[in-house]
Amino acid sequence: MEVYVVIVVLIALLFDFSNGLNDAANSIATVVATRVLSPRKAVLWAAFFNFVAAFGFETHVAATIGKGLVDPGVVDPHVVTAALLGAILWTLACTQQGLPISVSHTLIGSLAGVVLVKGGPRALVWFTIGKVALFIVLSPLIGMVLGALVTLVTVWVCRRMKPREVDAAFRGLQLLSAAVYSLSHGLNDAQKTMGIIMALLLSVPAFQAYAVQADDPNAPAWWIILSCHAAIALGTYAGGWKVIRTIGHKVTRLRPFSGFSAETGGGVTILGLSALGIPVSTTHTITGAVFGVGLVHRSGSVRWTVGRDIAVAWVLTLPCSAGMSAVLYILMRVAVLSRLGA
């Protein structure tokens, strides 16, 4: 059992890596599209701040995932394995297609699908599920509104400046906004994997002492925090280039000041919701912010067909990840029973 648990922890870190791979676009698409940084320098910048988010912040999101989403009594290594494998498969498939999905909702959908098979509807904490579902809708809208507001403010502040002066000023400011967004991405998304690992270790008596901090039973142990931030930073550094092109080039044309507006609006949204312990989608948020920036210029500057494809992927994420993980769990259970019968 001990070796199996270690393997499942490694699978969780692989999921965290795939999270960074798909969500690299969230952190750097705007700064690459505006040519403030080269793609490789941009992912290094984002990866650094993904890791920095491990220090000095509360782990409310990890507590929500680890203890507030499902009945802890239903969680075991098989449940976590099936949920993680289903989430990884859906994430990598969408990354290959260049679709910026919510890796957060992929994980939540996968976990819910497995738990429904094992424990039925009563094993889910429906209040938390409902809160997550609500912010599937609200997070892109909040990001859109804040992205539009920041754009309007920057346009007004810079109304007497020449376009060349505006671009020069915001090239430097966009480094700051990209750092803030990458920090918020690491803060919210890495904590989801922390919560899964914490829930896994708490379900196995021999590992419970390694799951949480000695002075805070609701906070994951420091080795979990650091390894999850390292994994998501490495995934971001590897970069999901097709997804980056979708957000950075296909939605709307970005300039340094509009990239700054999108990142600032999205980053503020995620930092605020992270403080409330809400596992929000960084993908939904930054995509909404980019659309908000495009709408301020004119609705015709936004490629709505791209938005439609992204929205379809968002709608399919929860049921598809839940279905895939549920099937994997059933197959794992059949394999275990067949082995016992033999």
pLDDT digits (tens, 9 = 90+) for 66-87: 777 888 889 889 999 999 999 8
Rank 130-134, 221-225, 255-259, 296-300 by mean pLDDT and report only the highest.
221-225
226 with 62: CB under 8 angstroms?
no
pLDDT category at 341 given cuts 50, 70, 90 is low
Phi, psi for 184 (deg, rounded to 5) = -65, -35
The answer, yes or no, to whether residue 245 has pLDDT greater than 90, is: no
Rank 111-120, 228-237, 248-257, 277-286 by mean pLDDT and report only the highest.
111-120
- The β-bridge partners of 220 are 212
Q: Can you tell me the distance from the alpha carbon of 139 to that of 3, in angstroms, rounded to the nearest whole number?
A: 39
pLDDT category at 10 given cuts 50, 70, 90 is very high
Average pLDDT (240-268) is: 69
The per-residue pLDDT for 306 is: 63
Q: How many Cβ atoms from other residues are within 10 Å of residue 240's Cβ? A: 28
Q: Is the dihedral of CA 119, 323, 276, 229 positive or negative?
A: positive
pLDDT category at 337 given cuts 50, 70, 90 is low
The per-residue pLDDT for 5 is: 92
Return the residue matching tokens 């994994």: 231
Closest CA to 23 of 104, 140, 122, 108: 104
Of the two residues 93 and 11, the one the predictor is more confident about is 11
Of the two residues 282 and 82, the one the predictor is more confident about is 82
The per-residue pLDDT for 13 is: 93
Q: Which residues 6+ apart lie within 8 Å of 46 measured at CB? A: 24, 27, 28, 178, 182, 185, 236, 237
Closest CA to 58 of 278, 280, 264, 283: 278
Q: Can you tell me the distance from the alpha carbon of 233 to that of 300, in angstroms, rounded to the nearest whole number?
A: 36
The answer, yes or no, to whether residue 201 has pLDDT greater than 80, is: yes
Average pLDDT (206-220) is: 87
pLDDT category at 329 given cuts 50, 70, 90 is very high
Return the residue matching tokens 């909404």: 288
The answer, yes or no, to whether residue 257 has pLDDT greater than 80, is: no
- The β-bridge partners of 70 are 124
Average pLDDT (213-240) is: 84
Average pLDDT (51-64) is: 76
The per-residue pLDDT for 83 is: 92
The answer, yes or no, to whether residue 247 has pLDDT greater than 60, is: no
Query: 214 is written with which tokens?
Result: 């000695």
pLDDT category at 223 given cuts 50, 70, 90 is very high
Angle between helices 103-119 and 126-157 (to 10 degrees): 170
The answer, yes or no, to whether residue 30 has pLDDT greater than 70, is: no
**For the chain, what's the residue count?**
342
Return the residue matching tokens 């979708």: 246
The per-residue pLDDT for 327 is: 94
Q: Can you tell me the distance from the alpha carbon of 142 to that of 211, in angstroms, rounded to the nearest whole number?
A: 34
The per-residue pLDDT for 29 is: 66
Of the two residues 94 and 228, the one the predictor is more confident about is 228
Q: Can you tell me the distance from the alpha carbon of 40 to that of 28, in angstroms, rounded to the nearest whole number?
A: 10
The Cα-based distances of 76 to 203, 224, 339 in angstroms read: 6, 18, 19
Burial of 253 (0-12, 13-18, 19+ CB in 10 A): middle
Q: How many Cβ atoms from other residues are within 10 Å of residue 44's Cβ? A: 16
pLDDT in tens, 119-156: 999 999 888 888 877 887 788 888 889 888 988 888 88
pLDDT category at 270 given cuts 50, 70, 90 is confident
Q: Can you tell me the distance from the alpha carbon of 291 to that of 81, in angstroms, rounded to the nearest whole number?
A: 36
Burial of 297 (0-12, 13-18, 19+ CB in 10 A): middle
The answer, yes or no, to whether residue 251 has pLDDT greater than 60, is: no
Rg, Å, the chain Cα set: 20
The per-residue pLDDT for 85 is: 92
Closest CA to 189 of 7, 80, 26, 325: 26
The per-residue pLDDT for 301 is: 56
Q: Can you tell me the distance from the alpha carbon of 303 to that of 5, in angstroms, rounded to the nearest whole number?
A: 46
